[in-house]
Structure 1
Amino acid sequence: MIALKPVDESSYQAVLDLSVAEADKYFVAPNVRSLADAWLYRMNGDVFPYAIWADEQVVGFALIDIDEDIQQYMLWRFMIGQEFQGKGYGQAALKVVIDQARAHPVCNHLIVAYVKGNQKMARLLEKNGFVLDLEEERELVFRLETPGVKF
């Protein structure tokens, strides 16, 4: 069972200890950077760091940024630790993020940007119905409409 839970004292060190394979380091910011970004923007109340749990073990990290002004739910950072890759955790965690975006009372789309050349992320997003929205110099931005049940 995959769950996204806010990073807290029980998961903080485990999130910091996660890393990706050496070949993937160009594509994913270190989790310490992501936690620092979350801390920097904490007063805005729109950036949320999550540990990705598989049962009782932290296997990954997700940083969510919600911009209600433009009705946007953004998966800002997303990673599965190298020792946990290839086990379906990325797919399952992305499904949880999509479900959260669909349940958001204001947001109507989910975006994910990734560094060009990150074929793992490209395949994962395309498999889940994301479409290319914007091509930037270094990144590709993918979008998924999330017209879920609004409260």
Structure 2
Amino acid sequence: MNFERTVKMRIEFKKVTEKNIEDILKLKVKDNQKTFIESVPECLKEAAEKSCWRPVGIYDEDILIGFAMYCFWKEDQHVWMDRFLIASEFQGKGYGSAVFPQLLKKIESEYQCSEIYLSVFKDNTAAINLYEKNGFRFNGEKDIKGEDVMVLNLRRSVVL
């Protein structure tokens, strides 16, 4: 029999600072995922150019396992969860499924928003599955880079 050990994750999101930037810059996805997401250095360059971006390291206790970046985009008045990656060596361990809902709660709390937007390439099926499991749906739009837009409606409807 194959028994898997249950691991308790203690996920924390930390701002990118001088203290952790070197480690964050080393984060990489698997080779077959490189066309789906910008590299961390590209993300941080973009964040330096546009102050609305909030880049964060994703930690399990004190171990850096991933990266995310999100913002309120004034041009379209939407909150965007723009980048989300689990480093290649931590993929397949349940981190994506555990971290993503926590990231969404963090974003909702920070912005008090009713919707969160993201964009994805149609052939990134693993990401689409994760997003759909967390309530995102395609809205028929494309972003400025030609990716398909998905939206999560956070409004809670009451059924009587």
- TM-score, normalisation: structure 1: 0.86
Partner of 2:151: 143
The RMSD of aligned alpha carbons is 2.0
Matched, 1:116 2:122: yes
Greater RCO structure (CA 8 Å; 6+ sep): 1
Q: CA deviation at 1:31?
A: 0.3
In 2, Cα distance between equivalents of 1:111 and 1:119 = 17
In 2, Cα distance between equivalents of 1:7 and 1:105 = 19
Partner of 2:87: 81
Of 26, 37, 40 in structure 2, the residue corresponding to residue 31 of structure 1 is 40
Partner of 2:55: 49
Q: CA deviation at 1:119?
A: 1.1
In 2, Cα distance between equivalents of 1:77 and 1:58 = 16
The structure with the larger Rg is 2
Could you say what secondary structure the match of 1:120 adopts? helix
Matched, 1:16 2:22: no
Identity across the alignment (%): 29
Matched, 1:66 2:72: yes
Unaligned regions of 5+ residues in structure 2, if any?
1-9
In 1, Cα distance between equivalents of 2:49 and 2:75 = 20
Q: CA deviation at 1:67?
A: 3.3
Q: CA deviation at 1:51?
A: 0.4
Q: Encode CA deviations 1:88-133: one digit per residue, 9 max, x unaligned.
A: 2122221122112332454210111112211111010011111111
Structure 1 stretch 67-76 or stretch 109-118: which is displaced more?
A: 67-76
In 1, Cα distance between equivalents of 2:140 and 2:149 = 5
The 1:12–1:35 alpha-carbon spacing in structure 2 relative to 1, beyond 3 Å, is same
In 2, Cα distance between equivalents of 1:103 and 1:90 = 20
In 2, Cα distance between equivalents of 1:126 and 1:27 = 17
Q: CA deviation at 1:139?
A: 1.3
Structure with the higher fraction of residues in helix conformation = 1
Could you say what secondary structure the match of 2:140 adopts? strand
Unaligned regions of 5+ residues in structure 1, if any?
none
Partner of 1:99: 105
The 1:109–1:95 alpha-carbon spacing in structure 2 relative to 1, beyond 3 Å, is same
> How many residues in Structure 1 have an aligned counterpart in Structure 2?
145
Matched, 1:134 2:134: no
In 1, Cα distance between equivalents of 2:123 and 2:64 = 26
